Amino acid sequence: MRIIEELAARGHPNITATHPTTIEITKSVLLTKKGDCVVAVEATKGLTDLSRDFRRLCMNDKSRIVVELNVSGMVERVTGTGSHLLTLTDERDLVIRKSTYTSDRTLMIKADKAASDLRRQFIQRVKSTAAEISVRLTVFV
């Protein structure tokens, strides 16, 4: 079984994407330089906005999750796993983690990339408020 969710987000001049273990997409409009895991703001969805079926599949230990970020035709793909420990209850954020740590903000764990692993050319593109970022989330078991 496979379920796809799509959302839109924007770039921001304060995006640094230097965090070594996480990536964050947020509905928030404001971003300080302390948010070094954030790669997109003004997202049209938080975790609670994802369909119940999508969230249910993510909460399966055998699920695989793929996040594709597309800005101006440049795509970054991050792959990880779901977990029965996920709650997916945050209304504002989606957090991708290399570790197995979970919180209400966690979308997936054991990711193959963190913010610091994304291509710097991609990060340069998302540093503009004019940058439109399309995000595709795919979960499958």
Angle, CA of 78, 118 and 30, to the nearest 5°:
95
> Which tens digit of pLDDT belongs to each residue from 12-65?
999 999 999 999 999 999 898 889 999 999 999 999 999 999 999 999 999 999
User: What's the CATH code of the domain at 56?
Assistant: 2.60.120.630
Enclosing domain of residue 124: 2-140
Total domains present in the chain: 1
How high is the mean pLDDT of the chain?
97
Among 91, 94, 115, 116, CA closest to 106: 94
64-71: strand order across its sheet? 2-10, 132-140, 64-71, 74-81
User: How far lies 17's CA from each of 13, 25, 49, 122, in Å?
Assistant: 11, 11, 24, 10
